[in-house]
Structure 1
Amino acid sequence: MPAARDPEATKARIFAAATAEFAAHGIAGARVDRIAREARANKQLLYAYFGNKAELFSQVLESCLTRLAAEVPVDAEDIDGWVERLMDYHAAHPELIRLIYWEGLEYGTERFPHEEERKRHYDRKVAVFAEAQEKGLISSRIPPADLLFIMISMVSWSTVQPQMRRVLTGDTDEDRARLRASVQEAARRIVG
């Protein structure tokens, strides 16, 4: 008797395989054949469930961003804690930053699929900084959207450029702890 089909399990395997493939090779370099093979799924199912490769990439990235938002909500009232949790998350999930940077390389200054949805996603995060500024909890010298951009950039750069982190700041546990403390200090000064 043939095994019963489980579309949700198949979709989950495709998603996991696609996340790894896109993080490693970007949108242009990713191969649907490799995703299907790794997911132990029929290539036609991949297209049926997710449309084309670009749409699959968009869905994978949106899922990763949604997971980040749920696990590490923006906390403008505890900048040290938020920065630490965000750095921990990126260290544990470097594929997210790689996906974002591949997206930037692929689309550059052009609009990308689901850009308006992404903007709404970040608008909610910007609102957290704006509210903290209105309450006087953090400085309002920097507009909240710029502040979020600067914070994300500081926190994520060591994941994006691990070789530069290693060359400039070292690669021991002590070096990484010192860099983390430095990023936290910079974040405190920016919002102070």
Structure 2
Amino acid sequence: MTHQAALDSTRDRIVAAATAEFAAHGIAGARIARIAKAAKTSTERVYAYFSGGKDDLYRSVATRELAAIAEATRLDPTDMPGYAGRLFDYYAAHPERYRLTAWSRLELGDAERDADDPMRKSAARKTEQVRQAQKDGLLDPAWDPMDILVIVSQIAMTWANLPDIPIPAGMDRDTFLAARRAAIITAVERLFPRHTCPRD
């Protein structure tokens, strides 16, 4: 392994350990010492990579997570039901990632977010995509773009926010999740129908 590869591997382990730590304990409750131990490195090494400390490390984790969500869910303003389904799938497969983003909403108010905050930048990009689709006649312009994004996201993540709901007797988990997914897509379809191109 080259020196650069070793450095990248250490950094990747730190970020992976920090992702698990922040998901479990939030930003305030996370501990650099636990992150270093889980990453099989020293606290000094963590600070060498992330000189801004815990806040710097959280920003890196959040940026990576938002990129993963964007890749997995692919916002298409002309198909908000499909987007809701992909969000549901992502958080059903990665419940710890829901906790990670939930901690950010709980602990970081708008006053604490600067212009480079990854959550704020992501929201701004998506809002602009929705606004452009409305201008192009592909999405109902009567809605505020932010309302569309928030409503769709909240509907899609409803079950991620209720992890303790028991699965009915006689129903396996996959069947249960498929039914919840179908309900979510139906709800979003009624609010924001898919745009279909008219036939020639």
Same fold by TM-score, threshold 0.5 exceeded? yes
Q: CA deviation at 1:90?
A: 1.5
- TM-score w.r.t. the length of structure 1 is 0.86
**Contact map agreement 2:80 2:189 (CA 8 A) in 1:** yes
Determine the C-alpha separation between the residues in 1 that align with 2:59 and 2:161. Answer: 20
> Percent of aligned positions with the same letter in both sequences?
36
Task: Please list, as runs of the form range in 1=range in 2, the aligned pairs for 1:109-148 lying within 5 A after superposition.
Answer: 110-112=111-113, 116-148=117-149
Q: Deviations over 1:68-126 (max 9, x none)?
A: 11232201222232222221111222233211111122224532356555323222211
Q: Which residue of 1 aligns with 2:160?
A: 159
Structure 1 residues 36 and 116, CA gap change in structure 2 (3 angstroms): closer
Question: How many aligned residue pairs are there?
Answer: 188
Single out whichever of 103-112 and 84-93 deviates more from structure 2. Answer: 103-112
User: In structure 2, how many angstroms separate the alpha carbons of the residues matched to 1:106 and 1:123?
Assistant: 20
Give, in whole Å, the separation in 1 of the partners of 2:174 and 2:73.
23
Secondary structure of the 1:75 match is: coil
Letter of the structure 1 residue corresponding to residue 16 of structure 2? A
Partner SS state of residue 159, structure 1: coil
**How has the CA–CA distance of structure 1 residues 158 and 138 changed in structure 2, closer, same or farther, with 3 Å as cutoff?**
same
Contact 2:23-2:96 within 8 A present in 1 as well = yes
5+ residue gaps, structure 2: 194-200
The equivalent residue for 2:42 is 42
Decide whether the 8 Å contact of 1:27 with 1:106 is kept in 2: yes
Equivalent residues of 1:22, 1:57 under 8 A apart: yes
Q: Does 1:78 align with 2:79?
A: yes
User: TM-score, normalization: structure 2?
Assistant: 0.83
CA RMSD of aligned residues (A): 2.4
Higher mean C-alpha deviation, range 23-32 or range 7-16: 23-32
What is the alpha-carbon distance in structure 1 between the residues aligned to residue 185 and residue 149 of structure 2? 14
1:129 deviates by 1.6
Question: How do residues 102-113 of structure 1 correspond to structure 2 at under 5 angstroms?
Answer: 102-108=103-109, 110-112=111-113
Distance 1:60 1:177, change over 3 A: same
Q: Which of structures 1 and 2 has the larger relative contact order (alpha carbons within 8 angstroms, sep 6+)?
A: 2
Q: Distance in 1 between matches of 2:96 and 2:115?
A: 19
1:10 aligns with 2:13: no
Tell me, which stretches of 5 or more residues in structure 1 are unaligned? none
More displaced stretch, 145-154 vs 96-105:
96-105
Whether contact under 8 Å (2:81, 2:192) holds in the other structure is no
- Contact 1:58 1:114 (C-alpha < 8 Å) held by counterparts: no
* Equivalent in the alignment of 1:29: 29
CA distance in structure 1 between the aligned counterparts of 2:159 and 2:148, rounded to whole angstroms: 18
